[in-house]
Structures are given as C-alpha cells and as structure tokens.
C-alpha cells in the first residue's frame, strides 16, 4: 500500500519536473525514471497476489519504457542534432502552475466520478488522470517534436497507471497490446522526427503550419 502511494507521488513529482524542466536530456531521463517506477507498480502494488503475469508485465514495461525508449530518444536527439533547450510556448513557471491546477482539477473530477471499488489506492485514479492531462499539456505547450513525443509517453503512462490499478480485472493481453502500440508509435515518431529534420534542418513544429503543397 505504502509502495503504491510512494510510486504515485513519484509519478506526480516527475510530471511536475517535466513541466518545469528546460533541458531535453534531463526530460528524457525523467521519463525513463517514470517508466521504471511504473514498471514496479504492478509488482509492489499487488504484492499479495504476486504472479508470473505481473512479473512479465513489470519486466516488459521496465525494458521498453526504462531502457528502449530513452536509448531511442537519445539517439534521435543525437542524429537530429537538436539543441538542448526545450523552447516552450508556455513558460516553465506558468507550466508548473498549470500542472498544479491540472492536479486540482483531476482530484475534483475524481470526487464526482463513480470509481470501481477495487482501485489499489484512492490516489490512483486522480493521479492517472493528472498524468494524462499533463501529457496533453506537454504536447500542446512545447514546440519541439521531441518534447511532444515525451508528452505522448507521459499521457500513455497515465493510461497505464489506470490500467495497472485495475489489473486484477483487465487481462495481460490488453496491457501488452498497449505497450506494443506505444512502442510502434514512438518508433514511427522517431523516424518521422529524423526525416523532418533532414528536410527542414530543424524539428520545430510551429513552422509546419506554413507548409503548402
């Protein structure tokens, strides 16, 4: 129980850190740490009914989110030769304050929504929803394609957190499928980023709106 709570708090803290961070490299590392922490969630959260199912889920999550994605994103940073600043539309302090506001909204929402009784912790649903919104906020408030990929990963981490909270009901197959989807998505995004960069010398998405055929 206490481990679940700690991991959830860590999830919120890493999201706030991402909202306030100005460096691409540290953001990728934070997302990796978040992935590893979430990988441990099914093992530590359901310790009393430890099964090979949760073990596999944890191992797969840690391998993909904690090792493969960061490696892949660092490679993309290196090959696309992006500078290390993130370049937000919304400033870091404003993003941080928006993050807290989003957290408040998620808690408020979860008080009004009917929740399944089997959630691992009362914090799980609001924090999962916060993670989804924080990911969306990262996607719309950052200029770089790379930061938007990170936002997408945070969003997916929120969905995953919710899924793990309901793990006894949902099947391993669904989780594995989601993980595979995300893997393919990040893979495609990485390749796209590389191609955008080769065509236009940068991966700022703000200038894409001026494209004409």
Partner 1 sequence: MKIELFIPLLLAMTLAPLLPGIINRTKAVFAGRRGQPLLQTYFDLWKLLHKNAVYSRTTTWIFRAGPMLGLAGIIIALTLVPFASFPAIVAFPADFFFLACLLGLMRFVTVLAALDTGSSFEGMGASREIFFSALVEPALLVSLVTLARQAKNLSLSIIFPAVSGAHWLDAGPVLALVFIALMIVLLAENARIPVDDPNTHLELTMIHEVMVLDHGGPDFAFILYGSALKLWLFAALIVEMILPPLNSLWLNLIFSIGGMFLLALTVGVIESVMARLRLLLVPQLLVGAGALAAMAFLLGLR
Residue 28: CB atoms within 10 Å: 24
Residue number, 72 or 137, with CB nearest to partner 1: 137
Under rule CB under 8 A, residue 2 binds partner 1: yes
Size, binding site for partner 1 by CB under 8 A? 20
Of the candidates 103, 146, 155, 167, which one interacts with partner 1 according to CB under 8 A? 103
Which positions from 129 to 148 touch partner 1 by CB under 8 A, shown as an x/- string?
Answer: --------------------
Of the candidates 126, 151, 165, 190, which one interacts with partner 1 according to CB under 8 A? 126
Q: Give Cα 52 distance to the centre of its chain.
A: 25
Only one of the segments 30-38, 63-71, 96-104, 150-158 lies at the binding site for partner 1 (rule: CB under 8 A); that segment is 96-104
Gap between the Cα atoms of 124 and 134, Å rounded: 15
From residue 98, give the alpha-carbon distance in Å to each of 7, 15, 52, 90, 194. Answer: 22, 12, 40, 10, 31
Under rule CB under 8 A, residue 115 binds partner 1: no
Under rule CB under 8 A, residue 99 binds partner 1: yes
Residue number, 111 or 184, with CB nearest to partner 1: 111
DSSP summary character for residue 120? S
Of the candidates 51, 83, 122, 207, which one interacts with partner 1 according to CB under 8 A? 122
DSSP summary character for residue 20? H
Of the candidates 100, 174, 184, 191, which one interacts with partner 1 according to CB under 8 A? 100
How many residues in total does the chain contain? Answer: 213
From residue 7, give the alpha-carbon distance in Å to each of 39, 92, 183, 210. Answer: 10, 24, 23, 43
Q: Which of residues 19-38 bind partner 1 (CB under 8 A)?
A: 20
Residue number, 60 or 88, with CB nearest to partner 1: 88
Residue number, 126 or 190, with CB nearest to partner 1: 126
User: How open is the CA angle 42-187-161, to the nearest 5 degrees?
Assistant: 20
Element (H, E) at 52: helix 52-61
Residues contacting 67, CB < 8 A, separation 6+: 32
CA atoms within 13 A on the CB side of 187: 8
Residue number, 20 or 60, with CB nearest to partner 1: 20
Q: Which residues bind partner 1 (CB under 8 A)?
A: 2, 5-6, 9, 12-13, 16, 20, 92-93, 96-97, 99-100, 103-104, 107, 122-123, 126
């Amino acid at each position: 129980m206490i481990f679940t709570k700690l991991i959830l708090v860590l999830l919120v803290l890493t999201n706030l850190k991402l909202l306030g961070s100005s460096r691409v490299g540290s953001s990728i590392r934070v997302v990796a740490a978040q992935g590893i922490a979430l990988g441990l969630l099914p093992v530590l959260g359901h310790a009393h009914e430890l099964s090979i199912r949760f073990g596999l889920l944890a191992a797969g999550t840690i391998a993909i989110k904690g090792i493969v994605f960061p490696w892949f994103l660092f490679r993309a940073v290196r090959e696309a030769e992006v500078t290390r600043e993130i370049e937000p539309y919304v400033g870091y302090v404003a993003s941080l304050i928006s993050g807290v506001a989003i957290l408040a909204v998620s808690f408020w929402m979860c008080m009004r929504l009917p929740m399944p009784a089997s959630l691992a912790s009362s914090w799980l649903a609001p924090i999962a929803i916060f993670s989804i919104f924080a990911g969306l906020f990262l996607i719309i408030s950052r200029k770089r394609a790379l930061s938007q990929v990170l936002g997408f990963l945070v969003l997916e981490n929120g969905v995953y957190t919710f899924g793990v909270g309901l793990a006894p009901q949902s099947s391993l197959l669904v989780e594995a499928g989601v993980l595979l989807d995300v893997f393919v998505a990040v893979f495609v995004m990485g390749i796209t980023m590389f191609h955008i960069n080769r065509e236009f010398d940068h991966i700022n998405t703000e200038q894409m709106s001026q494209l004409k055929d």
